Structure 1
Amino acid sequence: MEEIQTITPEELQKKLEAGEKLELVDVREDEEVAAGMIPGAKHIRMGEIPVNLDYFDKDKEYIFICRSSARSGNVCYYLQDQGYKVRNMVGGMMKWTGETK
């Protein structure tokens, strides 16, 4: 299985602060995202990723986020297998110190 690319919460925060346009996808459950998501992230629950494949564009890179980075890692392997460019935010929201909304 090919390794997946990762990004740290600190790196992600720097990119967002620098105004980079990033495709962020939060795969947590509804009650988890209700406590706060990274601004600009799209919420698609992990179980709904397969039926939402038409949302993803193979020319773009997507950064996946969950609570601890375990679920988002699974999503990354799944999508990478199908030819999508993905990156997993290591440590998940437990390690995120930036703003949330």
Structure 2
Amino acid sequence: MKTILSNEVNRRLSAGEQVNIIDVREPAEVLNGKIPTSTNIPLGLLEFRMNELDKKKEYIIVCQSGGRSSRAVKFLAYHGYEVTNLEGGMLAWEGKVE
């Protein structure tokens, strides 16, 4: 499974790169703050909403600590998506939140 550190994601966002981030936390968790530009698709709904994702794009998957996102990465990779797990999740995130 591919992983990426939060400081690398933050660097890419700060540089103005188009970064596709999927937050698999529950909506109540996202209310506490999310990475700007991220899209919330709770892990339990991912199977039903993965058709909203483009297999030609790369996605960074994030959750609170990295456990749920690693499950999401394995699931999406199995279905042919280009995905990377954000190591440490939101607990490791030091960038802006909205």
TM-score, normalization by structure 1: 0.95
* 2:69 counterpart of 1:77: no
* 2:8 counterpart of 1:8: no
Runs of 4 or more above 4 Å deviation: none
SS in 1 for 2:65: coil
Which residue of structure 1 lines up, in the alignment, with residue 65 of structure 2?
Answer: 68
Which residue of structure 2 lines up, in the alignment, with residue 90 of structure 1?
Answer: 87
- Structure 1 residue aligned with 2:41, among 39, 44, 58? 44
Q: Distance in 2 between matches of 1:85 and 1:6?
A: 12
* Structure 2 portions without partners, runs of 5+: none
1:33 is aligned with what amino acid?
Answer: V
* 2:21 counterpart of 1:24: yes
Which residue of structure 2 lines up, in the alignment, with residue 34 of structure 1?
Answer: 31
Deviations 1:40-62 (A, max 9, x none): 00000000000002111111011
2:52 is aligned with what amino acid?
Answer: Y
Identity %: 39
SS in 2 for 1:68: coil
Aligned residues: 98
* Structure 1 portions without partners, runs of 5+: none
Q: CA RMSD in A?
A: 0.6
1:72 deviation in Å?
Answer: 0.3
Q: Distance in 1 between matches of 2:28 and 2:51?
A: 25
TM-score, normalization by structure 2: 0.98
1:9 is aligned with what amino acid?
Answer: S
1:89 is aligned with what amino acid?
Answer: L
2:41 is aligned with what amino acid?
Answer: I
Q: Distance in 1 between matches of 2:51 and 2:26?
A: 20
